[in-house]
Amino acid sequence: MTAETSKHLFGSGHTACAGCGQAIAARLVVDVTGKNTIIANNTGCLEVFSTKYPESAWGVPWIHSLFENAAAVASGVEAALKYLGTKDKITVISQAGDGGTADIGLQALSGMWERGHDILSVCYDNEAYMNTGIQRSGLTPFDTNTSTTPIGSQSAGNPRPKKPMPEIAVAHGLVYVATASVGYPRDIENKVKKAVSIKGPKYIQIHVPCPLGWRHDPQITYDIGKLAVETGLYPLIEYEYGKLTGVRKLSKIKPVEEYLKFQGRFKHILSSPEQIKQIQAIADSNIERYGLKVESVSAPQDKEAGPL
């Protein structure tokens, strides 16, 4: 099967939901890495909606094996390319959802990183196990209403904050680690470009809103993505060789309600000032930690095309 498609290497005709952030991000990534790319994909929405036999949305060689082993499969692909002497001409990507990355696939991913394979790992972070019906993952945010962290008289939603995957990646000594968001498509492209220009293991975690799972209007996917960044809840950062080298600064930081209020998964929070305060505290700590706030008004940097 090959994708009979246009100029894109991830074509239309896949079966993603309207407004799926992951489909947009996946296309941006592969269009940057180009036709000399081989992708190993974990099980998850992306795999399911892009390769329903006998169709495929992929214009590059692409392999899916299991839910948790794309990193190991990619390691095998990379080792084979090394053996064949063609590695330098080909970009290998290992990609997965947040569950496939941060939970069930973390062991294989950690092994791949530690071994130093020249592979780009991409995590499409839609903050839950979407493919199986919006169950909580290690990257589900605090207080989120999911199908396995439902709200109730004894529950305010997911009781834990997001697992710090970028830090976990940095701790592995990766050459490049970044977070990105579908709200900033040019930024995704630039980061992918930068990542593949450096030899070694690298990780990009892309925030991809999911209208079905987050219960937001499919028309505002980009805006939701932007709001997560603008509130400080999803800071866009870059590490090179372990050092924080890039932070998308914000001239005006919005209160977290601006982000929460468009999403059904946070509806229960809106009537609870206490819970909003807790989530604002998460944003505030990010703002502080990464210095997200632009101090001088003369240097606004939150324009999509602006430098990091």
Partner 1 sequence: MKELLEGSQAVAEAVRLCKPGVISAYPITPQTHIVEELAAMVAEGKLRAEFVNVESEHSAASVVLGAVATGVRAFTATSSQGLLLMTEVVFNIAGMRLPVVMTCANRSVSAPLNIWNDHQDAITVRDSGWVQLHAENIQEALDLHIQAYRIGEGPKIMLPVMVNMDGFILTHGLEPVDIPSQEQVDSFLPPYNPLYKLDVENPLTLGPLVDPDYYMEARFAIHDTHKDVLRLIPLIRDEFQKAFGRSSGGLVEEYRVKDAEKVIVAMGSVCGTIKDVVDILRQKGKKVGLLKIITYRPFPSLEIYKALKDVPRVAIVEKAVSLGSYSPLLSEIRSVFCGKKNPPVISGFVIGLGGRDITIDSIKEIFKRLTAKQISEEYIDLKPELLGDEFV
Ligand X SMILES: Cc1ncc(C[n+]2csc(CCOP(=O)(O)OP(=O)(O)O)c2C)c(N)n1
Q: Which residues bind ligand X (CB under 6 A)?
A: 22, 43-46, 67, 96-100, 124, 126, 129-132, 137
Task: Note whether 215 and 264 are within 8 A (CB).
Answer: yes
Asked if residue 118 binds partner 1 (CB under 8 A), the reply is no
The residue assigned the tokens 């009537």 is: 271
Task: Note whether 72 and 94 are within 8 A (CB).
Answer: no
User: For residue 6, how many other CB atoms are within 10 A of its CB?
Assistant: 9
Binding partner of 32, given partner 1, ligand X, Mg ion, none, CB within 5-8 angstroms per partner class: none
- Pairing type for strands 243-247 and 237-240 reads antiparallel
Binding partner of 263, given partner 1, ligand X, Mg ion, none, CB within 5-8 angstroms per partner class: none
Q: How many CA atoms lie within 13 Å of 42's alpha carbon, on the beta-carbon side?
A: 28
- Give residues 130-169 in contact with Mg ion (rule: CB under 5 A): 130
How many residues touch partner 1 (CB under 8 A)?
47
**Could you give the CA distance from residue 71 to residue 94 in angstroms, rounded to a whole number?**
5
Asked if residue 69 binds partner 1 (CB under 8 A), the reply is yes
Residue nearest to Mg ion (CB): 97
Asked if residue 171 binds partner 1 (CB under 8 A), the reply is no
Cα dihedral across residues 101, 102, 104, 108: positive or negative? positive
Crossing angle, helix 21-33 and helix 221-230, to 10 degrees? 80
The residue assigned the tokens 């372990």 is: 242
Asked if residue 66 binds partner 1 (CB under 8 A), the reply is yes
Binding partner of 61, given partner 1, ligand X, Mg ion, none, CB within 5-8 angstroms per partner class: partner 1
- Give residues 70-99 in contact with partner 1 (rule: CB under 8 A): 71-84, 90
Nearer to partner 1, 2 or 155 (CB): 2
**Could you give the CA distance from residue 56 to residue 31 in angstroms, rounded to a whole number?**
16
> Nearest 5 degrees, angle CA 146-CA 100-CA 246?
95
Structure-token pair, residue 17? 């939901």
Q: How far is the CB of 87 from ligand X (least distance, A)?
A: 27
Asked if residue 98 binds Mg ion (CB under 5 A), the reply is yes
Asked if residue 59 binds partner 1 (CB under 8 A), the reply is yes
**Contact positions toward Mg ion, by CB under 5 A?**
97-98, 126, 130
**Contact positions toward partner 1, by CB under 8 A?**
1-3, 35-38, 40, 47-48, 51-54, 56, 58-66, 68-69, 71-84, 90, 107-108, 110-111, 114-115
